[in-house]
């Protein structure tokens, strides 16, 4: 399976702390994307990082990509209660059809 794997499956931290989620994948990718999902809702795109990029920032989000280790991390700095959600990484692989393959997600809870 090409499916990515997020780690940890669940994370609970205090408001103001930083949250780090990791994603690993198995085959070479074109790009990797992170999405957020509030409970019972659709997914919202957060950030896209291409295979030739190592780091991207967007507001309080920082994404890194290590293609040699086939892994990525999403860092949320200065977390807020509103960041409580599930976070998914999704990969577009070099071989095969152009489709996003999602991991199972990390459930992040920010405690006030």
Partner 1 sequence: DVKVTQSSRYLVKRTGEKVFLECVQDMDHENMFWYRQDPGLGLRLIYFSYDVKMKEKGDIPEGYSVSREKKERFSLILESASTNQTSMYLCASSVQGVRTEKLFFGSGTQLSVL
Residues forming the site for partner 1 (CB under 8 A): 3, 30-31, 33, 35, 40-45, 48, 88, 90, 92, 97-105
Rg (alpha carbons) of the chain, rounded to whole number: 13
- Which residue's CB is nearer to partner 1, number 44 or number 81? 44
- Which residue's CB is nearer to partner 1, number 80 or number 99? 99
From the CB of 70, what's the least distance to partner 1, in Å? Answer: 18
From the CB of 86, what's the least distance to partner 1, in Å? Answer: 10
- Which residue's CB is nearer to partner 1, number 42 or number 112? 42
From the CB of 89, what's the least distance to partner 1, in Å? Answer: 10
- Which residue's CB is nearer to partner 1, number 90 or number 110? 90
Q: What are phi and psi of 83, to 5 degrees?
A: -80, -10
From the CB of 24, what's the least distance to partner 1, in Å? Answer: 14
3-state secondary structure the chain: CCCCEEECCEEEEECCCCEEEEEECCCCEEEEEEEEECCCCCEEEEEEEECCCCEEEECCEEEEEECCCCEEEEEECCCCHHHCEEEEEEEEECCCCCCEEECCCEEEEEEC
């Amino acid at each position: 399976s090409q499916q990515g794997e997020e780690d940890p499956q669940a994370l609970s931290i205090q408001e103001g702390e930083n949250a780090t989620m990791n994603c690993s994948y198995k085959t070479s990718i074109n790009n990797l994307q992170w999405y957020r999902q509030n409970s019972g809702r659709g997914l919202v795109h957060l950030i896209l990082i291409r295979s030739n990029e190592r780091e991207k920032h967007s507001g309080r989000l920082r994404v890194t990509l290590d293609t040699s280790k086939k892994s990525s991390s999403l860092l949320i700095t200065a977390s807020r209660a509103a960041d409580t959600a599930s976070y998914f990484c999704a990969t577009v692989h070099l071989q095969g059809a152009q489709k996003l393959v999602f991991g199972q997600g990390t459930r992040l809870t920010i405690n006030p």
